[in-house]
Amino acid sequence: MLYLALNRGWFFLAASAPLLATAQLTIDKPVVMTGNEESRRIEGLSSPTSHTDLLTVEASLIGTAHWSDAVMQGNVILLTPAVELPSYRTGQLLRFIAPAAVHDSVLLACLGSDALPLVRPDGIRPVHGQIGPGSLCEVMNADDRWILMNLPERGCPAGTLQVTERLCMETTTAEGLLIFAAAERCTDMGGRLCSWGEFHFACVEHGEQLGMGTAWEWTDDTSNHKHGGVVVGQTGCTSERWAQATSTAKGRCCFEPR
């Protein structure tokens, strides 16, 4: 039997034992509180699990209704919200811990709903190093996409060295790439192949840190070369030659600090 003490606004669940239970209760009639204002309250509610549940003060303070568990499925971040989300609504805010490092064409979906693109407020996809494993992410739904409201990482991406105010360069290289694969790899991470000038400056100033000057690396220079590109760095900071598109070399990416 449900007993409502309306003058105090307290809910009690009466049973054979005189113990109080904490639960969410469905009441099909309005609850009117007639007691003193300082004594009007509802006690005994559990944490919300449905979008129609009442929020306790604690759940409101710690953001229970916005929290989600997250796992990766391919390039999709799959969320299971603490409070069920039957459909997406513009302005819906969710928070989660990133289960892995993600960038570029990443999608986000709530369990049982469609996957939508995840972008930054400027409309750009998250770039390499911006969302690392364990990062706290806050996203807001905006019709056909999820917007990353916070940027967990700033400055140069992880795994890069800041060689100038406007340039970050990978400290390691990918082996044995065709020029198109090298360029695509950089684009997928939110960067680009370095220019010949950028390579030369970084090699002279930070060559030992970056491991430069011992192998050919692709640059973005294809000028005056049909169906090929320019590789640099085999025997030092000034070595340079033309290479066919079917040749392989190391790939290194450049980024702008965020």
pLDDT tens digits for range 218-252: 999 866 666 789 999 999 999 999 999 899 999 99
Evaluate whether residue 155 is within a structural domain: no
Give the pLDDT of residue 248: 97
Q: Do 138 and 182 lie in a common domain? A: no
In a domain, 251, yes or no: yes
Domain count for the chain, please give it: 3
Q: Answer yes or no: do 134 and 74 share one domain.
A: yes
70 and 129 housed in the same domain = yes
22 and 91 together in one domain: no
Residues of the chain with pLDDT under 70: 1-25, 44, 51, 54-55, 57-59, 61-63, 152-154, 222-226
Q: Which domain range does residue 216 map to? A: 160-255
Inside any domain, residue 56? no
Are 83 and 53 in contact, with CB atoms under 8 Å apart? yes
Strand order in the sheet with 240-244: 174-177, 249-251, 217-218, 228-232, 240-244
59 found inside a domain: no
The reply to whether 241 and 181 lie within a common domain is yes
* Domain presence at residue 143: yes
Q: Are residues 136 and 84 in the same domain?
A: yes
| CATH number of domain containing 205 | 3.10.100.10
Q: What pLDDT is recorded for position 4?
A: 40
Domain ends where: 148, 181, 209? 148
CB atoms within 10 A of CB 34: 9
Instruction: Please report, for residues 39, 40, 52, 55, 118, the alpha-carbon distance to residue 6 in angstroms, rounded to integers and kept in the order given.
Output: 11, 9, 22, 19, 47
Residue 229 and residue 167 in one domain = yes
Query: Is 53 part of any domain?
Result: no
Pairwise CA distance, residues 45 & 54, whole Å:
8
pLDDT of residue 30: 78
Is the residue at 80 inside a domain?
A: yes
Whether 225 and 168 share a structural domain? yes
**Sheet containing 160-164, strands listed edge to edge, beginning at the edge strand earlier in sequence:** 160-164, 167-170, 253-255, 192-193
Domain contains 227: yes
Task: Tell me: do 22 and 71 sit in the same domain.
Answer: no
d(CA 17, CA 3): 15
Instruction: For residue 109, give every residue at least 6 positions away whose Cβ sits within 8 Å of its Cβ, in sequence order, or none.
Output: 76, 77, 78, 79, 115, 116
Three-state DSSP state, 23: coil
